[in-house]
Amino acid sequence: FSPPPPTESEREGREGSGGEMAEGCLFGIGNPLLDISAEVSTDLLAKYNIKANDAILAEESHLPLYEELAGMSNVEYIAGGATQNAIRIAQWMLQVPGATTFMGCVGKDEFGDRMEAESRKDGVNVQYMKDPDTPTGTCGVVITGHDRSLVTDLQAANNYKVEHLKQPENFALVEKARFYYIAGFFMTVSPETIMTIAKHACENNKTFTMNLSAPFLMEVPPFKATLMSAMPYIDVLFGNETEARTFAKTESWDTEDVAEIALRISKLPKENGARSRLVVFTQGTEPTIVAQDGQVQQFPVTPLKAEQIVDTNAAGDAFVGGFLSQHVSGKPLSESVRAGMHSAHIIIQRSGCTFPEKPNFA
């Protein structure tokens, strides 16, 4: 299977006059969060009623967790948030300054400034909305062995408004881009922003991509409704095996077969008939499933030795970032998957979403 050749408009979007990657080609919007990360004992999971390898929004009972993590000797502070992670990885893989743009809402505070500086240093064109009254959001990353659990206190990230996107200087960045990525977590924040970008992509034959991101986003009816409103516009959908099975369950599909679920999602109605939907589901060390045009492919994963794994935080985001770095460059599907796996391998051998100065993907 090989993807269709790029349209003229897609070629223009990713190439400058000399055939180089165009500035601002990939646009991401989501929840910028400062990760407060520490390796802990499983007792902490029980204390705060957290499941291993889950992602949830913080409730009042979770709020003391952040202070507890911050007080640990092994605590690390890392720029995070699913979409921001994926965009930073794509930017790192592309090695073209300003090839990517990221928006989201932060507070006017040290955490927000620290994240902006880190992402800009990576080459991302960061255009945060800044809320003077609410602190920057944080994500408690609770690491137990090779597992990671995410407990997110959105704070300012929850206050993103579509009006920021529609400011002429910001919407110009939307118009400049040819590819868009939004993690599912943003569905709890601004469905209107998601639909504005989705419709722009569709009307201009650009590529709109999203991620299922977490089971709760499909289990909570208003969030699932937002996903299903966006679905006809989604050209590439990412997720993992747990999210795929949760989606199938909420659709009352009588199957847990990830390949079958990917295939069925790829066939859901689509607004832009010019390109078929591509569904990409990772499964940890099991093969990555890719469905498109009535066909399913499986790409085996080269597993790491247990001692090579530091933590799995941001592994899924890294896969997306690596995949998109090749997808926006017009590379074959197999190369996009290979780049996704490469990026995920790098990330899980390091703490949080951090990476070496230069990629060694060849």
The structure tokens listed for 304 are 């790491």
Active site residues: 317
C-alpha 216/C-alpha 51 separation (Å) is 13
Print burial letters for 200-224: b (CB count within 10 Å at least 16), e (below 16): bbbeeebbbbbbbbbbbbbeeeebb
The structure tokens listed for 59 are 């409730």
CA torsion through residues 298, 238, 26, 343, sign: negative
C-alpha 55/C-alpha 62 separation (Å) is 13
Contact present, 198 and 225 (Cβ < 8 Å): no
Give 85: exposed, middle or buried? Use CB within 10 Å, 0-12, 13-18, 19+: buried
Which residue in 110, 127, 206 sits closest to 164, CA to CA?
Answer: 127
Q: Residue 327: CB partners within 8 Å, gap ≥ 6?
A: 179, 207, 236, 336
Amino acid 111 reads F
Q: Residue 274: CB partners within 8 Å, gap ≥ 6?
A: 7, 205
The structure tokens listed for 192 are 């209107």
The three-state (H, E, C) secondary structure of 260-287, written as one string: HHHHHHHCCCCCCCCCCCEEEEEECCEE
Q: β-strand 76-80 against 33-39: which pairing, if any?
A: antiparallel
**DSSP code of residue 110:** H
**DSSP code of residue 235:** S
Q: What are phi and psi of 333, to 5 degrees?
A: -55, -45
